[in-house]
Amino acid sequence: MIVVTAVDIELAVLVLAVAAWTIAARQAFPAVVGYVAYGLLLSLVWVRLYAVDVALTEAAIGSGVTGVVLIGAATRLRGTEAEAAAEQPRAFLRLAAAALCVGMTVALAAAVLLMPDPAPTLAPEAVAHLPSTGLGNAVTAVLLAYRVVDTMFESVVLLLALVGVWSLAPDRDWGGAPKFPRPAGQDGVLTFFAQLLPPVGIVVGIHIVWIGADEPGGKFQGGTILAAMWIIAMTAGLVDAPQISRCWLRLVLVAGTAAFLVIGVAGFAWAAGFLAYPEGYAKPLILVIEAFMTLSVAATLGMLVGGPPQQELRR
Q: Name which of residues 268 to 307 contact other proteins (CB under 8 A).
A: none
Residues in the chain, overall count: 315
Nearest residue (CB) to other proteins, 171 versus 187: 187
Nearer of residues 152 and 236 to other proteins, judged by Cβ: 236
Q: Smaller CB distance to other proteins: residue 96 or 200? A: 200
**Nearer to other proteins by C-beta: 74 or 130?**
74
Which of 164, 130, 158, 162 shows the shortest CA–CA distance to 146? 130
- Closest-CA residue to 231 (of 199, 257, 198): 198
4 touching other proteins, by CB under 8 A: no
Which of residues 122 and 203 has its CB atom nearest to other proteins in the complex? 203
Nearest distance, CB of residue 171 and other proteins, angstroms: 34
179's torsion region: left (phi>0), alpha (psi -120 to 50) or beta? Answer: beta
Alpha-carbon gap, residue 47 to 63, rounded angstroms: 15
116 vs 188, which CB is nearer to other proteins? Answer: 188
In sequence order, the β-bridge partners of residue 247 are: none
Cα–Cα distance, 180 to 184 (Å, whole number): 12
Q: How far is the CB of 183 from other proteins (least distance, A)?
A: 6
Chain-centroid distance, C-alpha 215: 19
| Number of amino acids touching other proteins (CB under 8 A) | 12
Question: C-beta of 185: minimal distance to other proteins in Å?
Answer: 6
Nearest approach in angstroms of CB 187 to other proteins is 7
> Please, which of residues 154-183 interact with other proteins by CB under 8 A?
183
The answer for 275, left when phi > 0, alpha when psi is -120 to 50, beta otherwise, is left
Binding status of residue 245 toward other proteins by CB under 8 A: no
Q: How wide is the angle at C-alpha 74 spanned by C-alphas 99 and 306, nearest 5°?
A: 120
User: Pattern 179-218, binding to other proteins, x per CB under 8 A?
Assistant: ----xxxxx-xx-xx--xx--x------------------
CB 229 within 8 A of CB 201: yes
Q: Determine, following the binding rule CB under 8 A, whether residue 117 of this chain makes contact with other proteins.
A: no
Determine the Cα–Cα distance for residues 150 and 157; give it in Å rounded to an integer: 10
Please report how close the Cβ of residue 181 comes to other proteins at its closest, in angstroms. 12
Nearer to other proteins, 79 or 185 (CB): 185
Q: How far is the CB of 27 from other proteins (least distance, A)?
A: 17
CA pair distance 165, 154, nearest whole angstrom: 17
We find the least distance from the C-beta atom of residue 66 to other proteins, in angstroms, to be 19
Closest approach, Cβ 33 to other proteins, in A, equals: 13
Whether 311 and 176 have beta carbons less than 8 Å apart is answered as yes
Which is nearest to 50 in space by CA: 123, 110, 112? Answer: 123
Closest to other proteins by CB, 146 vs 193, is 193
Residues that bind other proteins (CB under 8 A): 183-187, 189-190, 192-193, 196-197, 200
